[in-house]
């Protein structure tokens, strides 16, 4: 586990220090299928894509982002806001199916001072588990990721394919109740 932690930390440090693929925007490169970037793509919708975070906080750490390059969520068109909502709800259903987490962190890092290392806006969906390490453990460098991102990608992509055409669970429950 310590070896895996060191490998993940070293890769993230290189990324933070600017040693990245020579593309103007990592997420635009994913949209454009540029071979210079590792895609880790698990779902493509008409307006939004979902990929795994290359340096995840937990197994299943996803990022949902628009096909078009935007840097601020206020630039989203009304239809894109709805598409993003559907995409994030689908992410939750997929992660529930694959990992059964106890909870989620869902959020944005807009601007470098807020922690954004990619200017292209993206929403993080991070599964959280009972008895996992806390924030102080993260800061102290004690984080251990227990699943290879490639394995996560295969598992999650399969669940997206299975669930993408279905009605989200919350909507299905509401319809049954009426």
- On whether the CB atoms of residues 52 and 123 are closer than 8 A, the answer is no
Catalytic one of 43, 120, 122, 124: 122
122 classed as catalytic: yes
From edge to edge, which strands make up the β-sheet containing 62-66? 41-44, 48-52, 62-66, 123-128, 103-108
Active site residues: 122
């Amino acid at each position: 586990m310590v070896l895996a932690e060191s490998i993940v930390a070293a890769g993230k440090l290189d990324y933070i220090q600017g040693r990245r693929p020579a593309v103007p925007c990592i997420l635009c490169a994913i949209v454009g299928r540029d071979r210079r970037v590792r895609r880790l793509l698990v779902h493509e919708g008409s307006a939004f894509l979902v990929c795994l975070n290359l340096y995840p906080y937990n197994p299943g750490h996803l990022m949902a982002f628009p096909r078009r390059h935007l840097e601020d969520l206020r630039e989203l068109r009304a239809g894109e806001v709805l598409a993003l909502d559907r995409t994030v709800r689908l992410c939750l259903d997929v992660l529930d199916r694959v990992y059964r987490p106890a909870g989620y962190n869902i959020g944005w890092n807009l601007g470098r001072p807020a922690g954004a290392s990619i200017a292209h806006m993206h929403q993080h969906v991070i599964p959280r588990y009972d008895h996992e390490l806390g924030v102080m453990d993260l800061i102290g460098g004690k984080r251990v990721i227990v699943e290879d991102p490639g394995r996560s990608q295969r598992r999650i992509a399969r669940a997206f394919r299975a669930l993408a055409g279905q009605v989200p669970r919350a909507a299905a429950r509401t319809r049954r109740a009426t």
